Amino acid sequence: MHSVSAHGATIPALGFGTFRMSGPDVLRMVPAVLRQGYRHIDTAQIYGNEAEVGEGIAASGIARGEVFLTTKVWVENYRREAFLRSVDESLRKLRTDYVDLLLLHWPHEAVPLAEQIGTLNEVRATGKARHIGVSNFSTALMAQAVALSDAPIVTNQVEYHPYLDQSAVLAAAREAGISLTAYYAMADGKVFGDAVLREIAARHGRSVAQVVLRWLVQQQGVIALSKTVSEERAASNAAIFDFVLSAEEMAAIAALSRADGRLVSPAGLAPAWD
């Protein structure tokens, strides 16, 4: 599995995401994908499936140290004491004494960013998180987080797919040595009927999903999260490191972006997007 390096973190370039995945599906899929070769699992407190993720990793037969495990602190837990308690609860559910990456899940102005970043650093200092990062941060918020943090911010996890231009965030992340972790890569299924993507996929003898994931990981510093409840599709999604998209194909996919391409922008959480 290829990896992305950022400020001392070595992050597998393809991760398995568990957003909106039921407990039984997580219990089935996490061991399956780890046995297939995935080494990056992504969850969050708000997903409600950390316990199943932990059980799935334990059941996989893959040593904990070989799995890059990410979870995210929910906004209601951003005050220091609640933050620390919530991390301990996450670790109990995940059946581990550390996560490889701990993220702030969304910006949240009710708690000063300095307090959020300070507690994130405190958790890292205790060894309960090997690395720290943010999610759904704009370029301005990302810069503030970097300035406030003693430890390096290693990723910003954001919505990223062919219909959403994230070039500004990606450029800012690269400038700061931060990786970009892409979620919603399939644009909630919209990519599968796209004529441009289907033509590129046919040219390579690949699926549209493989082309989209390849487009993401072929970009410098970009990590892609894939999600499926099918073991067959999970195996297919992982088979993206044995072909290369041409510069023209990369550009043609990027050109699919549009002004209304953003799909995830919840009121009360979303920042002023770039």
Q: Is 160 a catalytic residue?
A: no
CA distance 61 to 3: 22
Task: Compute CA distances 11 → 40, 165, 228, 229, 270, whole Å.
Answer: 8, 23, 20, 23, 26
Cβ atoms of residues 57 and 18 within 8 Å: no
Rg (CA), the chain: 18
In angstroms, how far is CA 15 from the centroid of its own chain? 7
CA distance 211 to 223: 14
Strands (E), 43-187: 68-73, 99-104, 129-135, 153-159, 179-183
Q: Which residue in the list 38, 47, 78, 183 is annotated as catalytic?
A: 47
**158 - beta bridge partners?**
182
Sign of CA dihedral 233, 235, 238, 244: negative
Task: Compute CA distances 153 → 7, 141, 159, 211, whole Å.
Answer: 8, 12, 18, 29
Catalytic residues, by residue number, are 47
